[in-house]
Amino acid sequence: MVKNLESNIALPSSAAEREIVSLGPWFHNLHLPDGRQTAPSHPLGDFPNSHWQLIRPYLPVDLSGWSVLDIGCNAGFYCFELAKLGARVTGVDIESRYLEQAAWAARIFGLQDRISFVQGQVYELPATTFDLVLFMGVFYHLRYPLLGLDRVRMVTGKLLLFQTLAYSLDIEEQECPDLELGARSVLTQDYWPKMAFIEDRLQGDPSNWWVPNGTAIKALLRSARFRIKHKISDEIVLCEPTAHS
């Protein structure tokens, strides 16, 4: 979905704007210190700052001493905001172009000493734990989503920020008991956890594989040993890890 929602400055009028365009197109609209923006005409508005304004009240005011991992960091928006709060941040993305954007912006913000960017994917995360892990806008792109969640659980120390595309978010959750083979008709009930499989494309992007319903999000997180601590929005939750069952 990202590639069809990227943006660039339409008519760059200065050398500084041409530099931004040369690194584009951009999915993150970064507000640079000199007032420039990297994607001022973003199809989603001021993204991802609009998400950040929802998330910020749920995080500690001071993240000094915290380690943060941003999986699918893109151009680094969340990395920069969390580094400004005192955290040491590692951003991981599979796309070298996004990492080039992020490294450039880190220098512009003067945060390069607090952030490291690494090319990789969720199945190859560092063999360590982080106080805060961001796993936003990645889950539905995974060929192996449960494996991805298991890997995320292994590196989460205190908190997980999770976001995914979803549908049927207003369905009330009900208990889903163990089933006999002959009782499979219950699987068609609206409340049963489900994930729609996208064989071809969603928003023109062949990497969009899954869209879970609201009850599936909760069940998937529980199965990976996460407890939802706060529902921040329909698609964003703050979780904490739980012990082995």
- Domains assigned to the chain: 46-241 (3.40.50.150)
Q: Long-range contacts made by residues 202-209, C-beta under 8 angstroms, separation at least 24?
A: 202/1, 202/165, 203/1, 203/4, 203/5, 204/3, 204/4, 205/1, 205/2, 205/3, 205/4, 207/1, 207/141, 208/1, 208/140, 208/141, 208/165, 209/140, 209/141, 209/142, 209/143, 209/145
Buried b (16+ CB within 10 A) or exposed e, 3-19: eebebbbeeeeeeebee
Mean pLDDT, rounded, for 74-92: 99
Q: What predicted TM-score, i.e. pTM, was given to this entire model?
A: 0.90
pLDDT category at 20 given cuts 50, 70, 90 is very high
pLDDT of residue 145: 95
Mean pLDDT, rounded, for 44-50: 95
Q: 């063999």: which residue's tokens?
A: 127
Q: Is the pLDDT of residue 149 over 70?
A: yes
Between residues 88 and 174, the one the model is more confident about: 88
pLDDT category at 13 given cuts 50, 70, 90 is low
